[in-house]
């Protein structure tokens, strides 16, 4: 008998007992798991990454200004407004519904802030919550129509699109647009205010540190519970890559004006929603309702409340997005929230990987998706193309994004990943 045989073999971890499962450890394993995942239609963030590289190459070769720091700073200012709206869209898409009126809600909210603040003399910190509350009420109304009367959200929000646009025009009255004062904090927040360099650099370290700390905690917990865990080395690698990427981005933006506070607000909202979606019972219920509504109901989830929370959150965030865009444009006008705002908000979520069919998605899809969409729109503006061409190109890109989503979904089904 050899010596090896006498040493007792450690009991396999609780989740490693099945011999049929290949466990992808190490760098090679990670790569193989990643390729398998892509092949089965679980694309994750890949389309966005590829899209951003292609966009950067194409536009910067056509006009080098595209990648200039100050242009990117402008890009991030623009991202924050529609991005916040798109964040709400992620919530409703998650339960397999849609809100087509987010553009109108954002326009109405900006009109309300303008009239209450400038025409009626309210304080701006009173006008903003009031506009957001009205947004919440609209979402509650959609939820009521859907859960009590079974009215499809597609129809009710389409009706809402027109009705709320009407309300926006009514509120603005004959003048049609209200200018917001340039020296006010709100407009400065939407146009000028950037973080001090030291602060942006310190904040860029935080995500890596948090990932490291929570990762170490999870590894310890899992080992204590006799479960397999990812290796410490891989965790450190992930955290340092994340920190390096963020620090470089901040450094590059600081070569220009710096990181906009408005964009920081957007990112903070994304992180809060991500926590809610992935780490709370509410988020889990949202996924469950989107995946199989009847199963969720039978598991004791209050399905109507989940739908209501999704609709209310969506329209409240849409109102906030409208207020931010009023700040960005320094005006509340009849054009606010019209045109491609609706479509951009929905497409951003889908491009980022949130499924139109419910039950799949993440808060980060709003962030990444809106960067892609604004990059395209910004690049086309720099090229001085006529709006006819710009609409056609943007429409084509959106169609492409939805095609990728549909194909990926088909592939997921055939690979048994729903």
Secondary structure E strands in 255-413: 331-333
CB-nearer residue toward another protein: 362 or 378? 362
Q: Which of 225, 268, 272, 400 binds another protein (CB under 8 A)?
A: 225
DSSP state of 162: H
Residue with tokens 């709400």: 88
- Closer residue to another protein, CB minimum distance, 18 or 183: 18
Q: How far is the CB of 252 from another protein (least distance, A)?
A: 35
Using rule CB under 8 A, residue 280 touches another protein: yes
Work out which of 290, 321, 352, 369 binds another protein, going by CB under 8 A. 290
Nearer to another protein by Cβ, of 36 and 126: the residue is: 36
Separation of alpha carbons 212 and 138, rounded Å: 41
294 binds another protein (CB under 8 A): yes
Q: What SS3 state is found at 230? A: coil
The residue within the footprint of another protein, chosen from 121, 300, 386, 388 (CB under 8 A), is: 300
Q: Give yes or no for residue 304 binding another protein (CB under 8 A).
A: no
Query: Under the criterion CB under 8 A, does residue 218 sit at the interface with another protein?
Result: yes
Among 133, 227, 382, 402, binds another protein (CB under 8 A): 227
The C-alpha R_g of the chain, in whole angstroms, comes to 24
Q: Look up residue 336 and give its DSSP letter.
A: T
Residues 6+ apart with CB under 8 A from 170: none
CB of 414 to another protein, least distance (A): 11
Burial of 182 (0-12, 13-18, 19+ CB in 10 A): exposed
DSSP assignments along 148-181, one per residue? HH---HHHHHHHHHHHHHHHHHHHHTTT-EEEPP
Shortest Cβ distance from residue 32 to another protein (Å)?
Answer: 16
Distance, in Å, from the CA atom of 373 to the CA atom of 380, rounded to the nearest integer, reads: 11
**What's the number of CA atoms in the CB half-sphere (13 Å) around residue 202?**
5
| Residue 365 tokens, joined | 């899809």
Per CB under 8 A, 285 contacts another protein:
yes
Is 148 among the residues that bind another protein (CB under 8 A)? no
**Residue 210 is a binding residue for another protein (CB under 8 A):** no
> Binding to another protein by residue 213, rule CB under 8 A?
no
Among 50, 295, 400, 403, binds another protein (CB under 8 A): 295
Q: What are phi and psi of 209, to 5 degrees?
A: -65, -45
Among 159-167, 290-298, 367-375, 376-384, the segment contacting another protein (CB under 8 A): 290-298
Contact 262, 80 (CB under 8 A): yes
Q: Which helix (H) or strand (E) holds 131?
A: helix 124-149
Q: Is 301 in the site for another protein (CB under 8 A)?
A: yes
* Interface with another protein, residue 296, by CB under 8 A: yes
- Could you give the CA distance from residue 360 to residue 269 in angstroms, rounded to a whole number? 19
Judge whether 178 and 119 are in contact, CB under 8 Å. Answer: yes
Question: Cβ 234 to another protein, closest distance in Å?
Answer: 16
Is 14 among the residues that bind another protein (CB under 8 A)? yes
Contact range with another protein by CB under 8 A, out of 143-151, 246-254, 276-284, 394-402: 276-284
Structure tokens that stand for 186 in this block: 């709100």
Interface contacts to another protein, rule CB under 8 A: 14-15, 18, 20-21, 218, 221-222, 225-227, 279-282, 284-285, 287-288, 290-292, 294-302, 359-360, 412-413, 415-418
């Amino acid at each position: 008998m050899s010596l090896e045989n006498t040493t007792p073999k450690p009991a396999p971890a609780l989740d490693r007992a099945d011999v049929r499962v290949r466990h992808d450890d190490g760098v090679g394993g990670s790569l193989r798991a990643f390729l398998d995942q892509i092949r089965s239609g679980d694309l994750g963030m890949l389309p966005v990454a590829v899209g951003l590289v292609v966009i950067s190459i194409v536009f910067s070769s056509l006009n080098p200004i595209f990648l200039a720091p100050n242009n990117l700073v402008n890009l991030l200012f623009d991202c924050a407004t529609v991005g916040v709206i798109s964040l709400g869209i992620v919530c409703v898409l998650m339960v397999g519904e849609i809100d087509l009126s987010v553009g109108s809600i954002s326009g109405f909210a900006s009109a309300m802030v303008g009239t209450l603040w400038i025409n009626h003399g309210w304080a701006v910190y009173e006008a903003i919550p009031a506009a957001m509350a009205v947004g919440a009420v609209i979402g509650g109304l959609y939820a009521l129509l859907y859960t009590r009367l079974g009215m499809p959200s597609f129809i009710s929000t389409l009706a809402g699109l027109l009705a709320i646009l009407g309300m926006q025009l009514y509120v603005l009255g004959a003048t049609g647009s209200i200018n917001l004062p340039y020296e006010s904090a709100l407009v400065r927040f939407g146009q000028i205010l950037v973080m001090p360099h030291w602060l942006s650099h310190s904040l860029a370290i935080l995500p890596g540190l948090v990932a490291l700390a929570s990762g170490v905690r999870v590894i310890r917990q899992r080992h204590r519970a006799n479960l397999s865990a990812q290796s410490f080395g891989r965790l450190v690698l992930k955290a340092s890559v994340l920190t390096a990427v963020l620090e470089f981005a901040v450094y590059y933006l600081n070569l220009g004006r710096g990181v906009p506070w408005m964009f920081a607000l957007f990112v903070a909202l994304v992180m809060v929603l991500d926590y809610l979606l992935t780490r709370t019972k509410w988020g889990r219920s949202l996924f469950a309702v989107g995946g199989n509504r009847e199963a969720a109901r039978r598991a004791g989830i209050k399905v109507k409340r989940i739908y209501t929370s999704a609709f209310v959150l969506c329209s409240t965030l849409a109102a906030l997005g409208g207020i931010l865009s009023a700040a960005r444009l320094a005006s509340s006008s009849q054009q606010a929230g019209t045109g491609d705002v609706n479509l951009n908000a929905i497409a951003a979520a889908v491009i980022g990987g949130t499924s139109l069919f419910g039950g799949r998605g993440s808060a980060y899809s709003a962030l990444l998706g809106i960067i892609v969409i604004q990059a395209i729109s910004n690049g086309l503006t720099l090229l001085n193309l006529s709006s006819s061409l710009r609409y056609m190109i943007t429409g084509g890109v959106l169609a492409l994004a939805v095609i990728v989503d549909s194909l990926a979904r088909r592939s997921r089904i055939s690979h048994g990943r729903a």
